[in-house]
Amino acid sequence: MLRLITDFDGPIMDVSERYYQVYQIGLEQVGRPDQPLNCLSKADFWELKRAQVPERQIGRISGLDERQAEIFARYRRKTVHTLPYLKYDQPVPGAIATLERIQSLGIDLAVMTMRRERELDDAFARYDLGRFFPSDRRYCLSNDYVKTSDVEDKPRLMERAMAELPPASNWMIGDTEADLAAAHRYSIKAIAVLSGIRNREQLSHHAPHFIVDNLVAAVDLVLDHENITP
């Protein structure tokens, strides 16, 4: 049996607008009324995020002083994953059609995400994505889970998945170092996609087996390697 385990944000959901909205609001919240600020364009902001430029440095580039940049970074961490901002997420172009294709081919499909249950449920309801992932193929954080770091928490989700799911030829599709860490720990073939929050240079540091543009290309690659005719 062939199984695809995919991250949610990055391969399936485009979170760039959510992050940009929080960035803009953070500048407004922290900046002084008479302070000249350099609000970055979305493209420039997202390029910095994908290069893993620290939040404080983004604040400084935008015209905040050191103290303000620290407050700005804390505000971002506290705000960006809250429910009011999830409405800015949109499916990555081609992602839903690709999920339908996976389903039509009878490939086992699981989602593994650092979202909490309520955050995942919000997106499932908003875009009817729950139809692709039965309840026993959803690996996310509980609403009361105390996070440590993604590179520690995601391998824990993978540990649970490997204990619960039937044996299969597993592939992991993700867009961050946490996805790659989870895959490597369990010797799972890892595909990094460039449709998320890391650029090629950052992803290459974590030794994915492949780097491709998006979920569409990732599925094409898996089908080719598994000798499955679409």
Over the stretch 164-177, which tens digit does the pLDDT of each residue have? 999 999 999 999 99
Over the stretch 202-228, which tens digit does the pLDDT of each residue have? 999 999 999 999 999 999 999 999 988
CA distance 172 to 153: 16
Share of the chain above pLDDT 70, in %: 100
In Å, the largest CA–CA distance within the chain is: 62
Mean pLDDT of 118-146: 96
Q: With a cut of 80, say whether residue 17 has pLDDT above it.
A: yes
Q: What is the pLDDT of residue 230?
A: 67
CATH classification of 2-15+89-225, choosing from 3.40.50.1000, 3.40.630.30, 1.10.3720.10, 3.30.420.40? 3.40.50.1000
Mean pLDDT of 181-204: 98
Locate all alpha helices (DSSP H) within 137-214, ordered by sequence: 150-164, 177-185, 200-204
pTM, whole model, 2 decimals? 0.96
Closest residue by Cα to residue 215 from 130, 103, 93: 93
Mean pLDDT of 10-18: 98
* Secondary structure percentages of the chain, helix, strand, coil, to 5: 50, 15, 35
Buried b (16+ CB within 10 A) or exposed e, 108-125: bbbbbbbbbeebbebbbe
Domain spans of the chain, in order of start: 2-15+89-225, 16-86
Over the stretch 46-103, which tens digit does the pLDDT of each residue have? 999 999 999 999 999 999 999 999 999 999 999 999 999 999 999 999 999 999 999 9
Rounded to 5°, the CA angle 115-182-89 comes to 30
Q: What is the pLDDT of residue 228?
A: 84
pLDDT level of residue 30 (50, 70, 90 thresholds): very high
CA distance 58 to 26: 11
Share of the chain above pLDDT 90, in %: 97
Mean pLDDT of 99-125: 97
